[in-house]
Homo-oligomer: A and B are copies of this chain.
């Protein structure tokens, strides 16, 4: 993983392998270091986690600086890094491309760009395609994962927006997107239809209890990411543990890394 070009190519190859890329998402340095140390070849970030860790709302274009600072701090980890940029923190394609250029200079090999907007509506697909094109023009080797929030923002009562998803995915791939991410898609039939009709590696969100990685592999999914799930698991586990102590229960401790293990985690992290 020495030359930048090798890292871009390595990340791209993970989307065209026999098994899907299983991509865990980190929210701070420690979580990324733990995942890298645990052998994941690539790690993503989660915009909800980054926003919550820093006390800002998600999907509100509020965390550009925090996202860039985190990406820079993670660049020394021995893993490939892809960064969740929400909608790019700007409506100006050149501004989004500038940010991606900075991220690539910091060693980032991929980004997510979503067409969902903070107000719960979907962006015009041509405008979103314009951002993708601007980013690919600036850093052609970088893997742009175009996220469409057709399912994510649909209500439970709405019909599955398969046709709109395929139309949007087509526009984004034509603009240069290297992969398409459809969070919130749940059933096997729909996933199969999306794999068949989208001409790029399909990324779905891991939904606890819904599918295993093996089942998603069988449906033709190329990438499975965890989104904000690990961040939420972490937060929930901490609150449950402390509440049990407050209630007067005994809690055992062997399931947490030790103080010394965490100190090692944050010091032994050279890329090379």
On A, residues with C-beta under 8 Å from B are: 22, 24, 28-31, 33-35, 38, 40, 48-49, 51-58, 73-74, 76, 206-209, 212-214, 226, 228-243, 245-246, 248-253, 255-259, 262-263, 265-267, 269
**Bound-complex Cα distance A54 to B76 (A):** 13
Tell me which of B51, B251, B263, B267 contacts A209 (CB under 8 A). B251
Q: How many chain copies does the complex carry?
A: 2
Between A53, A57, A228, A258, the greatest number of chain B beta carbons within 10 A of the residue's beta carbon is seen for A53
Indicate if the CB atoms of B48 and A73 lie closer than 8 Å: no
Q: In the docked arrangement, what's the CA distance between A114 and B131, Å?
A: 50
Contacts A48-B259, A239-B38 given; does A22 touch B245 at CB 8 Å:
yes
Are the CB atoms of A241 and B245 closer together than 8 Å?
A: no
Whether A31 and B266, one on each chain, are in contact in the complex, defined by CB atoms closer than 8 angstroms, is: no
Residues in B with CB closer than 8 Å to A232 are 256-259, 262
Q: Whole-angstrom distance between the alpha carbons of A207 and B52 in the complex?
A: 28
Are B229 and A234 interface neighbours, CB within 8 A? no
Q: Is there an interface contact between B212 and A250, defined as CB atoms closer than 8 Å?
A: yes
With both beta carbons as reference points, the residue of chain B lying nearest to A263 in the complex is identified as B58
Q: Contacting A242 at CB < 8 Å: which of B58, B226, B228, B257?
A: B226
B residues in contact with A213, CB < 8 Å: 245-246, 248
> Do the beta carbons of A255 and B233 come within 8 Å of each other?
yes
A154 to B214 CA separation, bound complex (whole angstroms) = 49
A57 touches B266 (CB 8 A): yes
